Amino acid sequence: MESFASIVRNSFHQQASLNPTTVCFPDCEDVRVLQAAHILLEKNIAIPLLVGHRKSIESIALSNEIEINGIKIVVPQEDDGIQRYAEMFFDLRKTKGISIEEATKKVLQPLYYGGLLLKDGIVDSCVAGATTSTGDVLRAAIQTVGLKKNTSVVSSYFIMILSNKVVFFADCGVVPNPDSKELSNIASSTVQNFRKLFRSEIPNVAFLSFSTKGSATTDSVLKVREAFELFKNENPSIIADGELQFDAAFVPEIALKKAEDSPVKGNANIYIFPNLDAGNIAYKIAQRIGNATAIGPIIQGLEKPYCDLSRGCSVNDIVDVASISSLLSS
């Protein structure tokens, strides 16, 4: 019998296949990325585009018997658009003191060239991180694609597939200690992406703390409370509450005891963590002890989808994130 996690993951693939978009892979000199690109093309989930050194890519594919015929490879050093992209990047970064020579060198790097292809509309999204750090991916994404309008912070979320439901955890991968305004912004971005991926579901947001509705008063509790108030002022129609302990946000029976008047009612599907310590630990506990399937981190707050992968990602992880990035770009 097919697991609930497989049903959810396959639904992402099927939705993406209805309108396949072009997904760029800037760190594609890795067997897992090439295997994922082959699956994406074979199943018509997305149109992969590889940015890197052609001989290296072809050698890896050949030695691992991966069919990549039909997949476009862009080599920055050989691409006709290199000078235009160098000038584009110079214009984007000249206020930071970059020279045209430095810009030219930078755009030869696949992470930056892929970002400029995304900025230019040649591709619809980017997926990187299989061989590069999150810091390197984020720097390239921010410097090429840029932040989304009215967004003050780049953050991330995990799609957590539980035994019978799907919830979002944010931020579990990027912002170490967000202030109240940043927490509110993270929640707004997460709600937007939740709506894109689960159009029939109603967002229900819990701002998490070790305190529920004033059971404690510390700086960290006050930060969460203020974040909720900022969020609610900007999003009055969205079901949300804070500060809430996890059990009061997740279990209806406990919500009745701890937060009887809370609109969340123990049915939150979006959980906003007060800092990266809490978020990162929580998703890994849910994954390793609770047997939840974690997809992500999915980067948010950028003008266009430039997604990050864990360097320990599997082929299936890459296919999943590429499917989601495709859906977010459509």
Rounded average pLDDT over 153-173: 94
CATH superfamily label, 155-293: Isocitrate/Isopropylmalate dehydrogenase-like (3.40.50.10750)
pLDDT at 291 over 90: yes
Rounded average pLDDT over 143-157: 91
Across the chain, mean pLDDT equals 93
Given CATH 3.40.50.10950, say whether it is the number of domain 4-146+302-329: yes
Rounded average pLDDT over 61-85: 91
- Which pLDDT belongs to residue 262? 95
Same topology, domains 4-146+302-329 and 155-293? Answer is yes
Please give the share of the chain, as a percent, with pLDDT higher than 70: 100
- Which pLDDT belongs to residue 268? 97
Domain assignments of the chain as residue spans, ordered by start: 4-146+302-329, 155-293
pLDDT band at 330 (very low <50, low <70, confident <90, very high): confident
- Which pLDDT belongs to residue 21? 96
The H-or-E segment that residue 129 falls in is none
Q: What is the distance between the alpha carbons of residues 190 and 211, in angstroms, rounded to a whole number?
A: 22
pLDDT band at 32 (very low <50, low <70, confident <90, very high): very high
Burial of 69 (0-12, 13-18, 19+ CB in 10 A): exposed
Q: What is the distance between the alpha carbons of residues 214 and 194, in angstroms, rounded to a whole number?
A: 28
Rounded average pLDDT over 3-19: 94
